[in-house]
Amino acid sequence: MESEYSKDLELLLEMLRQIRTAGTQLYDWNKDVNSVSDLMKSEFGMQRLAGNCMLIQVIGEGVSKIEKFTDGKFLILRPEIPWKKVVGMRNRISHGYFDLDAGYVENILKEDLLPLMEAIDALIEHVETMIMEREVDEHCKE
């Protein structure tokens, strides 16, 4: 029988994987973006900018949910990431889209995305290890 703790770990892992998927899409979609003008100079660029904003919102919302789900005790394992700012970027896009500076999005892509994804990868690995250790413990108790 699966314990409540095991279910919580599985849910946490799923949230982290959703963030990772959004981050991977952001990275893949923007490999050829060299400047903010790449996001602004064409209709395709503007569509990409809108898609980027949606994925940034997904990441920020996921981080917010993890913070609430873990009572702020999990993401602190990776203190090099300013988690409140990650949620803040989601809020900035969600509540001020028409005032959004494409340079802000480009900066996220160029400066913030890879360190964030490295931290998410490490957190995924941490939770997977916890799940595996839990399964071993439960099996040994049988």
The residue count of the chain comes to 142
Q: Which residues contact 131 (CB under 8 A, 6 or more apart)?
A: 6, 9, 10, 13
Percent of the chain with pLDDT over 70: 94
Asked whether the predicted pLDDT for residue 1 surpasses 90, the reply is no
Rg (CA), the chain: 17
pLDDT at 94: 84
Say what the pLDDT of residue 62 is: 97
Whether 110 maps to a domain, the answer reads yes
Residue 127 lies in a domain: yes
Give the global pTM.
0.89
pLDDT in tens, 27-40: 999 999 999 998 88
Domain count, the chain: 1
Residue 74 belongs to what domain range? Answer: 4-137
Helix H segments across the chain?
Answer: 4-29, 37-40, 43-69, 83-95, 102-107, 113-141
Residue 124 lies in a domain: yes
**pLDDT at 53 exceeding the cut of 50:** yes
